[in-house]
Amino acid sequence: MQALKSLFVMLLGAISALYLMNVGWGVVEFVPDNLPFVGNLDEATATFLLLNCLAYFGINIGPLRKLLPADKRLKSDQPETRADRK
């Protein structure tokens, strides 16, 4: 079941990356970019999905590293405790 979940996340990340690379040359868009205020929501959603897919596989970009479970974080990403300061 875990392999199926990883495959789904990988596929979703690949689709998001392809959408952001604009392989459809602007012909294939869910929301036209020339609409005010909502024109970039599809790209924002694709970016959000791609960053979360990368975080799922341990590739942490920016503040997403704090969303990972403690056992998946690197030792350098762990918050400092009072015991560490002594």
Residue 86: the pLDDT is: 55
Give the range of the structural domain holding residue 66, as residue numbers without chain letter. 2-71
What pTM did the predictor assign? 0.65
29 contacts 41 by C-beta, under 8 angstroms: no
| Residue 76, domain member (yes or no) | no
Is 16 part of any domain?
Answer: yes
Per-residue confidence (pLDDT) for residue 12, from 0 to 100: 96
Residue 84 is assigned to a structural domain of this protein = no
SS3 37: coil
- The count of domains in the chain is 1
Q: What is the pLDDT of residue 15?
A: 93
User: What does the pLDDT profile of the chain (86 residues) look like in tens digits?
Assistant: 888 999 999 999 999 999 889 877 777 777 777 888 888 888 899 999 999 899 888 887 766 556 666 666 655 555 566 665 55
Quote the pLDDT of residue 49. Answer: 94
Question: 85 is written with which tokens?
Answer: 């300061």
